Amino acid sequence: MPAVIALTVILTARPRSPVGMALATTTIGLALAGPLLDEGVVCLVIAAPLFLGVAAIVGVVVEQLRESRTRRRALAVTPLLLLALAEGVGGATVVPRDDAGTATAVIDAAPADLARSLAAPPVYGDFEAVFLRAVPFPEPVSATGTGLAVGDERVVTFTPRRSLGLGAQPTPRSMTLRVVESEVSDAGGHVVLDVTEDTTLARWMDLRSAEVTWEAAGDGTRVTWTLHFTRTFDPSWYFGPLQHRTTGLAAEYLIDTFAGPAEELAGTRP
């Protein structure tokens, strides 16, 4: 598929401006790079708008430099563009690397029902968020481990890593979490699980911990799920909001995953 995209651009594109030439060349480069990146093609898909956007801006600047009337304006913009693109080089960053994605919802179950659901192995379903379904993120398949006491562990198995290389074999991947803080009562609770081993998301972010808090809210339970992580991609002005949004959607998914069994225990879900 990447080769077809590259050939299509080469054979059909007839760029007549610096912007068109920059976009066509970048598209070809991205398409040809896909098969070389194995699972990194996920990163390529996410970063493609950044690559194409920068290529378009560079094309505009070059086009402006050709015109004597706008040359000064283009020369003034060029240092700002270079500064924005160099963000992250040498460790410098505008947006802090430590971040967290959070989601909150009220479920139709008692706090004790949710606690029992959290203590049991989950049954994972498909992603409902369009973004999570559109980008080939790893999907949780199953989990082993029970309990909410300090020291209890969970091992979550994800869909295997599949390389685009010919004859490549799928590689298993998983994540291990350990309960490090736990306060559970009939009125609510607070549990923190540290990520002790990760062969799933480590290529994209450094996921540190998962934190879930719940309390009674009327006839239901208010649940807040937070995923703490450290951003490893730059520039921050692009990947910061993107990873923040992605982890927020993942937190929503986890709430839905554990809300179903809790509501079944409460007898409120068919």
HEC sequence for the chain: CHHHHHHHHHHHCCCCCHHHHHHHHHHHHHHHHHHHCHHHHHHHHHHHHHHHHHHHHHHHHHHHHHCCCCHHHHHHHHHHHHHHHCCCHHHCCCCCCEEEEEEEEEECCCHHHHHHHHHCCCCCCCCCCHHHHHCCCCCEEEEECCCCCCCCEEEEEEEEECCCCCCCCCEEEEEEEEEEEEEEECCEEEEEEEEEEECCCCCCEEEEEEEEEEEEECCEEEEEEEEEEEECCCCHHHHHHHHHHHHHHHHHHHHHHHHHHHHHHHCCCC
Residue ranges of the chain that CATH labels 3.30.530.20: 98-266
Q: Is residue 265 pLDDT above 70, yes or no?
A: yes
Task: Residues 98-266: name the CATH superfamily.
Answer: START domain (3.30.530.20)
Burial of 151 (0-12, 13-18, 19+ CB in 10 A): exposed
Average pLDDT over residues 105-111: 96
Q: Give the whole-angstrom CA distance, residue 14 versus residue 59.
A: 15
Average pLDDT over residues 141-145: 95
Q: Give the whole-angstrom CA distance, residue 29 versus residue 6.
A: 8
Which pTM does this prediction carry?
Answer: 0.75
Average pLDDT over residues 63-67: 66
Q: Give the whole-angstrom CA distance, residue 207 versus residue 267.
A: 35
Which pLDDT value is given to residue 125?
A: 93
Q: Give the whole-angstrom CA distance, residue 104 versus residue 223.
A: 6
How far is C-alpha 152 from the chain's CA centre? 26
Q: In the chain, what percentage of residues exceed pLDDT 70?
A: 74
Average pLDDT over residues 130-138: 85
